[in-house]
Structures are given as structure tokens and as C-alpha cells.
Structure 1
Amino acid sequence: MAGEKLVLVGQVAGGFGVKGEVRVTAYTADPMTLLDYRDLLRADGSPGLTLLSARPDKNGVVGRAKEIATKEQADALRGLKLFVPRARLPEPEEDEFYLTDLIGLEARDPADVVLGRVKSVQNFGASDMLEIAPAAGGPTWYLPFTREAVPDLHIAEGWLRAVRPNEVDEREPD
């Protein structure tokens, strides 16, 4: 499993009731998909939770996990992020993709100059932003994930077109 891309699918929200059930917030279109995945991993790829049963809840699922027998054990795992290997996700429809598929893509400007690579996809509340690690080194920068800023995606070829927004000139006027 080393080097395999993991996709965040949920997070433990804590215990539910007094019989050792766990509430999991789902980051999937259908929360019950978590039960289909069953074996959920930690960020490092080690085992996280094994869902044995589940039912829908307002933000995800409530269910039983092999590793949890009490409410206290469930509460102790609150905040645990749960992942599945990218290979376990269904293939997207044509002209669709998973945001995780953008990570690692080369970012090229309109003149085909390599600006850097997509380090992560973040969402600070307004919309998705691509964090770009510059090819020349230095601090990362963010590119809005919009049609204007990213007009071309070539996921199979390993790159995307990046059009940086006009930046404010920070020099003092003469």
C-alpha cells in the first residue's frame, strides 16, 4: 500500500448512544458508501475502522465498527480522518474526475512554461483552490479552481493549464 493515493471519505464524529455505536461524518455523495468500503484507513494507510453495519444519519452514518465496543472508545476516536485507496473508488464518468486526481499534476502557464506542481486541493469556504508548489522552489501559492484560472485539464497526460490572476504590483510608485 506504500505510495498508494488515499482519498478522504469520512471522519469520526464520536460515539452515538450508549451501546458502542460510532457516528461518522461522510464526505461521499452517498453516505452509505462508507459501509460498502468497510475497511477504512488512517492517513498513513494503517487500519482505522472496520464498519460492520451502518444506517444513514443527518451528516453521514451511525454504525458498528469492529474496533469499538463502548461509547468511550468511539469518543476517543473523535476527529479521526478515514480514507480509502483511490483504486477502490469507482471510475468517474467521461469528463469527470476526483479532486485527488489533480494532486501531482504539472501546472503550465499559457506559454507552456512549467510553473510547478499541484501539491493539494483546499477549500477555505468559498471554492476549491489548488495549492501550487513552484518548480523553482519557494513558498507555495494558490490558484482558484475556476474555468478562467484552469482552462485546460489533461489529467491522463499529467498536466493542467494555469492562468494566474493579475497580481497586485507591490512596488512603491516612482
Structure 2
Amino acid sequence: MNEDPIGKVCVGAIAGAFGVRGDVRLKSFCAQPEAIGDYAPLTDEAGREFGVKITRQVKGGFAARLTGVATREQAEALRGVRLYAPRWKLPSLPTDEFYHADLVGLPVYDGGGVRLGKVRAVHDFGAGDMLEIVSPEFRQPVMLPFTRAAVPIVDLAAHRIVADPPPGVFPGDDDDEDDGPGPGEDAGA
């Protein structure tokens, strides 16, 4: 079997029942939403497998039939269940694009090799992706813009991210650089 070491990627979630015959309301997290059925069978966190047949588009997603789900009650019981596809089934991405699942868990280092933390999640609050970085040294997570300027290197093969964060993003960052004279030093000479 072609199992990728990275594992599975969340491609959708069940939002509840649709109708009275066991169809579910399915939210797709795929770039091409209708492609979610192409990755079937999908599995949930417990390892249950579901064949997926999209029956029609509905507001906020699709109405779909899942194998083994025959009643409205069964469909409603699946509300909130996240569905996963094997990583190897997903299309390859250009070198400068990444699946969120590939980034979560990666350690983050600064340009000097100092470990800053690790990626706990990737969020999009409307202005672009943000990496949520955690460390035992932080009281709360740090949100780092996932831009080429702030994150110049993502090396999946080496299992690491190198960040060049703007000043003040990480706790303990000094906003004032050591550009001027120190105490007791003469500015002009």
C-alpha cells in the first residue's frame, strides 16, 4: 500500500444531516471543493471509512451520501466529524505552496539557528495565512505572518522552518536594534 509517511490530511467535515434519507451536509476544504469525492474512501479520526457520493451542491457545501449512513439520525450523529484523505492521494503542489498539514508540528528557527518554537496551527483570518507558534517559553502562542519576508525557508525534507520575524513578534524581542551608541559612548567622532 502506498502510505505516505506524512499520513492523512483533513479534506472536509460533516456539518449535519441533509434531508430524511441519510444524506449529510458536507463541507469541503479542498481547493476545488467538488474534488472531495475524488479522494474517497475518506476516514474519520476513529479510522472509520466512508465512500462519498456528492448528490448536489447546497449552501455552504454539498449534500452527499456516505457508505454505511442510511438514516437521518445516523447522519446527524456524524455532525462535526472531520474527514481525512491519505496524503499520497492529494495533488502535488508547486515548490512554494504547502498543505497546512505539512506545516503543523514543524520546528521554527531564526536565521541564527535558535529554536523559536513549533507550528501548532495555520490560520487565515482574512489577510493571509498566519502560523500559530508555541513554545514552553511563551505565555501565549505567537502569530507569525506566513509570508516570504517573515518565513523565507520552509524545508520539508529537513523538517524545519526558518523565520525572519518582524521585531516584537516573539516575546523577548528588543524593538530597538543596536544601531546607535551605547551608554557613555559619543555619537559623533
**TM-score scaled by length of structure 1:** 0.79
Aligned CA RMSD, in angstroms, stands at 2.6
Q: Does 1:43 align with 2:45?
A: yes
**In structure 2, C-alpha distance between the alignment counterparts of 1:62 and 1:119, rounded to whole Å:** 31
For residue 150 of structure 1, what is the amino acid of its counterpart? V
Is the contact made by 2:15 and 2:80 (CA closer than 8 Å) also made in structure 1? yes
After TM superposition, the runs of 4+ consecutive aligned structure 1 residues lying more than 6 A away are none
Find the residue that maps to 1:32 and give its secondary structure: helix
- Equivalent residue for 2:7, pick from 1, 5, 8: 5
Is the contact made by 1:32 and 1:55 (CA closer than 8 Å) also made in structure 2? no
1:4-43 superposed matches below 5 A: 5-43=7-45
Unaligned runs of 5+ in 2: 173-189
Q: Does 1:138 align with 2:137?
A: yes
Find the residue that maps to 2:55 and give its secondary structure: strand
* Structure 2 match to 1:55: 55
Deviation for aligned residue 1:28: 0.5
Is the contact made by 1:48 and 1:82 (CA closer than 8 Å) also made in structure 2? no
Is the contact made by 2:6 and 2:102 (CA closer than 8 Å) also made in structure 1? no
**In structure 1, C-alpha distance between the alignment counterparts of 2:95 and 2:152, rounded to whole Å:** 17
Greater gyration radius: 2
For residue 55 of structure 2, what is the amino acid of its counterpart? R
Label 1:85 to 1:131 Cα distance change in 2 as closer, same or farther (>3 A): same
* Corresponding residue pairs, total: 165
1:7-156 superposed matches below 5 A: 7-44=9-46, 46-47=47-48, 49-51=50-52, 53-58=53-58, 59-134=60-135, 137-139=136-138, 140-156=141-157
**In structure 1, C-alpha distance between the alignment counterparts of 2:143 and 2:119, rounded to whole Å:** 9
CA offset digits 1:39-82 (Å, max 9, x no partner): 222235x115332x213414332121112111222122111111
Is the contact made by 2:40 and 2:85 (CA closer than 8 Å) also made in structure 1? no
Is the contact made by 1:68 and 1:74 (CA closer than 8 Å) also made in structure 2? yes
Deviation for aligned residue 1:151: 2.0
**In structure 1, C-alpha distance between the alignment counterparts of 2:84 and 2:103, rounded to whole Å:** 17
Unaligned runs of 5+ in 1: none
**In structure 1, C-alpha distance between the alignment counterparts of 2:120 and 2:57, rounded to whole Å:** 33
Q: Percent identity?
A: 40
Deviation for aligned residue 1:12: 0.7
